[in-house]
Structure formats: structure tokens, C-alpha cells
Chain A
């Protein structure tokens, strides 16, 4: 046991010495590699929305996005999109369609290894939507079942509606191929204002997602495929 400890001591000392020598060598050779990180305009499309358009008959949507690094960790980001969503409940039959844009900043909280360009980011957006809602009809709500439900046909179009909201984003971004990124994000939104409807409500707001009767909050997600046009290297 004692011998083992003594041996260990000597071996360690030996390695420590070698290590120190190696260090000396490194200091002598000058590092010619400069870590340039590429940046530029990154743009792309949301993949989840076209997929949902195929799977869900009552939904159509597309979103394009772009971001640009303005500082080491900050990116100017914007999204633009268009959505159409049916609400086919028996109590209310309605369709909402319209366009939206979101603009804001992303902050990359992830420290990359040399040569890697991944992100764990948070961001804020200001969102604006211009949309219309068409009310086709509804079943009058009755608590008793004595008479069959009365369906009322309406066909009212509420157009020129607008909504503003603030959005908090949390997401991850990975460079899956050179300059090609896949990104997943979750969005927490808070309505700031919306066009109030006479005797109806905005059940869906493009870009904001569905609304809630008793809350100004909303949620959403994104699954983005983007391409980085590397304009600069620094």
C-alpha cells in the first residue's frame, strides 16, 4: 500500500513536469487561428404551419421570418405571416383570416464552442395583426333539451379588425447543416389591444393564436427552418 502511494507520487510528478514542458512549448508557438464568427441575414420559413395546414382541414397558415445579428448576442428579428382558422363548434361557427407581423429582439444566452453556432435564446416581440372574422351562424344555447337546438344563420363579416400584443419567446437554434438552422420556440403572448366587436368576440387572432374569454394571455410555438446568408465575418 505504502509502495503504491510512493509510486503514484512519482508518476504524478513526472506527468506534471511533462505538462509544464508542454505548456512552455505552446506559449512559444503563436496562435495563427483567429476565431471569426460568421453572421448576416438569416431567413426562413415555419415548418409546423404548412404541416398543420395539411393535417387540419380547418387551418391554413404560413410564416416567414428573418433575423440579423446587430451585436455579439443580440439579433434583430421579425416574422410575417398569414393564417386562416375555422372554429367549427356547434355553438359558434366562424372563420378568422388575416395577416400579421412581429418585430423585436432575440438574445442568445448560449456560449458556443469555437466553430459552433447554436443558440438558446430568449426574445421579445411586438405583434400586430390585421384580420377579418366571419360569423356563419350558431346554435342558441339552452339549458334544457325539450326543444331541438335552434340554429341561427348569420353570415356577418367583421372586417378591418386589428390586434396588438407583446410576446415573450424562448427557444433553441441548431446549425444542422452549414448555414442551415432548425429552431424550436415557445411563445407567451399578452394582448395589448384589439378591435372590440359588437355582440361577438375575436375568437382567433392570426399570429396571436386563439384567445381566452377570461384572460389576455395567449400561447404559441414555432418550428423554423432558416438559412444564414453569411455577409460578414468578424
Chain B
């Protein structure tokens, strides 16, 4: 009997202790980020890395979103409470000739979806539109293409930027 009680106590404590659903697992698809891919303007089927690209919010404090790195794929957040975000894309950051282009994204918030107890709710975005602020010859971002106008997850590219 004593052994049975001990066993039950341990089982109970074990179940109590294993509350893995109190922490949201990192690999859970929560509110998705916008996936931007950079491609070559002269060869539009070819990805082309951007040299030391730094992405900041176009606010007064220039909040850093992506620390400068050379890559072809970047993921940036959209603000669920708003319907538009202004970004500054700085190419060649801390180089001799940094070039900043203003990039505006407008969107609608989609359905909120319940994930689980620990993660709570996520949302999605629809009707993605993007605008590169024209600066004439000063632009390094030369064109864009919306591949997927709804952002449900981060598995595929939403916007392609040619440069």
C-alpha cells in the first residue's frame, strides 16, 4: 500500500512538474514576419545578396530591426495594431557609400488564431502592398514584386526586391 501511495505521489508530481505548455516553444508559428528576398535586376531569376544591409524603422530613433549583414533573405515584422509600416533599408551600412531607400508596406490584419495555452493567439496579414520611395538615380532598390499578398507563415517569400 505504501509503495502504491508513493508511486501515485510521484506520478502526480511528475505530471505537475512537466508543464511544458507553460512555455511557448520557439519553433511554434506565432505572428509571422514578412519575408523579403533580394534578386538580381539584370537576371531576375537569380538571387543577389545585398552588401551589408541594415534595416531600421523610419521613426525618429531609427529603431534597428535587422543588424547589418550581407544576405539574400530578410524577415521583418509588421505592426498588428497599424496598417502601415515605414522602413529604411540601408545598403553598404558603415561603408564608404551607404545608400538608404525608404520602403513602405501597407496591409490589413487577418484572422487571429488560437495557438495554445502558452503562446496564446497569433495573427496574420492580408492585402500586402509595398512602395519604394522614388529618389531617381539614388535608388538602389529598383523594383519589387509581391509574390504572396497574404502573410500566414514564414515558409515562403512574400516580396521580391530587385536591385
A→B interface (CB under 8 Å): 89, 91-92, 109, 120, 138-144, 146-147, 150, 152, 170, 186, 188, 199-201, 203, 211-215, 217, 219
Cα distance A60–B106 when bound, in Å?
46
> Given A109-B1, A152-B112 in contact, is the A143-B118 Cβ separation under 8 Å?
no
Stretch at the interface among B16-24, B89-97, B131-139: B16-24
Please indicate the chain A residues that have their CB under 8 angstroms from the CB of B117 in the complex. Answer: 92, 201, 203, 211-213
A140 to B121, Cβ gap below 8 A? yes
Within 8 Å by CB of B116, from A142, A143, A213, lies A213
A219 to B15, Cβ gap below 8 A? yes
Please indicate the chain A residues that have their CB under 8 angstroms from the CB of B33 in the complex. Answer: 143-144
Chain A CB count within 10 A is highest, among B5, B16, B65, B120, for B120
Cα distance A92–B22 when bound, in Å?
12
Within 8 Å by CB of A186, from B8, B77, B122, B123, lies B8
Chain A proximity of B27: nearest CB distance (Å): 11
Closest to B33 in A: A144
In the complex, whether B83 has a CB less than 8 A from a CB of chain A is no
| 22 sample A-B contacts, Cβ–Cβ < 8 Å, listed by A number | A91-B120, A92-B120, A109-B1, A138-B121, A140-B31, A141-B115, A141-B120, A142-B30, A142-B80, A143-B26, A146-B57, A146-B65, A147-B79, A150-B80, A150-B123, A170-B5, A170-B8, A188-B11, A212-B19, A213-B116, A213-B118, A215-B15
Chain B proximity of A32: nearest CB distance (Å): 34
1/0 per residue, CB under 8 A from A, across B71-105: the answer is 00000010111000000000000000000000000
Cα distance A71–B95 when bound, in Å?
89
Band of interface residues on B: 35 or more
B15 to A217, Cβ gap below 8 A? yes
Chain A proximity of B64: nearest CB distance (Å): 9
B→A interface (CB under 8 Å): 1, 4-5, 8-9, 11-12, 15-16, 19-21, 24, 26, 30-31, 33, 57, 63, 65, 77, 79-81, 112-123
Closest to B81 in A: A150
B8 to A188, Cβ gap below 8 A? yes
Cα distance A71–B11 when bound, in Å?
30
Closest to A90 in B: B120
Cα distance A186–B11 when bound, in Å?
11
Please indicate the chain A residues that have their CB under 8 angstroms from the CB of B19 in the complex. Answer: 212
Within 8 Å by CB of A141, from B11, B20, B122, lies B122
> Given A91-B120, A140-B122, A150-B80 in contact, is the A199-B113 Cβ separation under 8 Å?
yes
Chain B proximity of A87: nearest CB distance (Å): 9
Further 12 A-B residue pairs, CB within 8 A, beyond A140-B121, A141-B120: A89-B120, A91-B119, A138-B121, A141-B31, A141-B122, A147-B77, A150-B123, A152-B121, A199-B114, A211-B117, A215-B15, A219-B12
